[in-house]
Chains A and B, each alone.
Chain A
Amino acid sequence: MSAKRRPPGEVLLKVENISLSFGGVRALSDISFEIRRHEVFSIIGPNGAGKSSMLNCINGFYHPQGGSITYKGRTRRQMRPHEVASQGIARTFQNIALFRGMSTLDNIMTGRSLKMRAGLLAQAIRFGPALKEELEHREFCERIIDFLEIESIRKVPVGRLPYGLQKRVELGRALAAEPELLLLDEPMAGMNLEEKRDMCRFILDVNDEFGTTICMIEHDMGVVMDISDRVVVLDYGRKIGEGQPEEVRSNQAVIDAYLGVQH
């Protein structure tokens, strides 16, 4: 129902000529694209197209052999994941990576690691400013819990939650870092229709309420075409298309790639 969203702003992330290989296997060849502020940007492509590798490059898990990534005007060749996180990039994983032994709340609190400033000793004895800080972070996390409608599982160890809810907690943990760029690796994989609908709503709400830029890998074409502003298509590590959903849908190379995979 949302009638209009924030207009896309300046370029937030610029990927230029990224090449990545493992041993002799080329995972990505010469990929370039730009993500603009406030956009919902999707990376699609058949299995093995290099989509997850692309996200892993952006967030510092992989170090591409060639090309550069420019984020908020700063270009980097190599950066470690926790440094990337401190720049305001948060992510979720294709095969949920939660802290299974911890409660939902603790998982989300962990997402605020980078925002905590109080000294260790002060924290240990819950002293004055540290206590205040802890409470502020707790309140922020409670707002996320409210936002994602997961109040009822606040204290439940996430390992015991059903898949769909775990995905939601993972999104919550990513949001806790107040990211400017949110990387979502197949946020709707394995979900039923209702869970997908909820997840779509959350993603759009995040984008809308906080202005967070979203970069998403997703297989469900219906979802991608519905909520993305722009789409880039990868196949065998190469970029074969880019543009607004309608353009991509009618792009012959894209159709071929998909048909090729699906016999």
Chain B
Amino acid sequence: MDLLYKIFLDPFVQMGAAPDLLLQTLWEGLVGGVLYALIALGFVLIFKASGVFNFAQGIMVVFAGLTLVGLFGVISGLGNVNEHVAAFAALGLTVGVMFVLAVGIERLVLRPLVNQPDIILFMATFGLTYVLIGVGELIFGGEPKVMITGELFLPRGSTDWEVFGGFVSFQHIDLAAAIIASLMVAGLAVFFSKTRIGRALRAVADSHKAALSVGISLEQIWVIVWFASGLVALVTGIMWAARSDVSFALQIIALRALPVLILGGFTSIPGAIVGGLIIGVGEKLGEFYWGPLLGGGIESWLAYFIALVFLLFRPQGLFGEKIIERV
């Protein structure tokens, strides 16, 4: 009885007793959720265009982050350069690197493997992961690095909002992350729903041969999609690393995004966004209210649990698209 009480009633009593804490938790959950959504978006874009689950998405986040910090170091080292100028120059160059990476992947991985079974492509992304890890360590070294937040004008500090007799604290970097991520998502949504490329991407997702027959170049779409997903990785890398460091450990966040995909479906952009938010908020709530009950350490599996519970009630996933068995 007591355990049931602790699971089913006590957390809600706590929520009601301290609404400011609840708000704080929700807010943190949302921020985490936005980042999950970003990562999931990276997966979804690539899955839609090529039917491949990109195992390398996590390492792309790290790689983008490391490149940015590394290039900043190089540019700063050139001498008398304003740190902000150097930071944005590095940012621009990193974007360029991500583009080169996209072209490289298309040329060296996707094109030679065209018409191979999807599982082969999936295995190729494993290979890609280890290549990126190797190259990253070779160039940037294995130790964690500090993200250049201040140099990119990303704010620090926090604002307290008094409410319900308590207060909710908003980290400015979180606010910035939420805003930038939302803009990014909105931008991608417009890009993929309103433009010819977007129509072409949906076309490719639906039928390769039909897309080819109307003159859509698969190669071009692949480059664009991998580039877009590289940009998403870059933004994710900056935002995530701003709260900790840039290190190879970061790549496991890719695994944190998996439940988002289970929830939202592998082909749905809205699914990735809403799924990310649900997982983010659910994870924080669970950690805070139910975590102590189970002795903590639940964040590694809680997201999967949430996704599974959700699927019990909505087997078709969030937006009704079939979850495809290709992974």
Interfacial residues, chain A to chain B (CB-CB below 8 A): 59-61, 80-82, 85-86, 90-91, 93, 97-102, 106, 109-111, 113-114, 116, 120, 123-124, 126, 173-174, 176-177
Contact = CB atoms under 8 A, between A and B. Distances in A.
Nearest to B220: A82
Interface of B: 190-191, 194-197, 199-200, 202-203, 205-207, 209-218
Nearest to B218: A82
A91 B194 contact: no
A126 B194 contact: yes
Contacts of B209: 61, 81, 93, 97
A85 B194 contact: no
A183 B187 CA distance: 38
Contact of A113 (B194, B200, B207): B200
B203 A102 contact: yes
Given A99-B202, A99-B210, A124-B190, 20 more contacts: A61-B209, A61-B212, A82-B212, A85-B214, A86-B215, A90-B214, A91-B213, A101-B206, A106-B202, A109-B199, A110-B199, A110-B200, A110-B211, A110-B214, A110-B216, A111-B214, A113-B214, A123-B195, A123-B196, A176-B214
A195 to B, nearest CB: 21
A102 B215 contact: no
Contacts, number: 86
Contact of A114 (B199, B206, B214, B218): B214
B195 A113 contact: no
Nearest to A89: B213
Contacts of A174: 213-214
A256 to B, nearest CB: 34
Contact of B197 (A91, A93, A120): A120
12 contacts: A60-B212, A82-B216, A90-B213, A99-B202, A99-B206, A100-B206, A102-B202, A102-B203, A113-B216, A174-B213, A174-B214, A177-B215
Contacts of A81: 209, 212-213
A93 B210 contact: yes
Nearest to A96: B210
A164 B316 CA distance: 29
B206 A98 contact: yes
Contacts of A97: 207, 209-210, 213
Q: What are the 10 tightest A-B residue pairs by CB atom distance, in nearest-first order?
A: A85-B215, A97-B210, A99-B206, A81-B212, A114-B215, A123-B195, A82-B217, A97-B207, A82-B215, A116-B196
A90 B216 CA distance: 12
A177 B153 CA distance: 48
Contacts of A110: 199-200, 203, 211, 214, 216
A100 B211 CA distance: 12
Contacts of B206: 98-102
Contacts of A100: 206-207
Contacts of B194: 123-124, 126
A71 to B, nearest CB: 15
B195 A120 contact: yes
The residue in A61, A85, A90, A100 that gathers the most chain B C-beta atoms within 10 A of its C-beta is A85
Nearest to A118: B196
B216 A59 contact: no
Contacts of A90: 213-214
A61 B210 CA distance: 11
Contacts of A98: 206-207, 210
Nearest to B224: A120
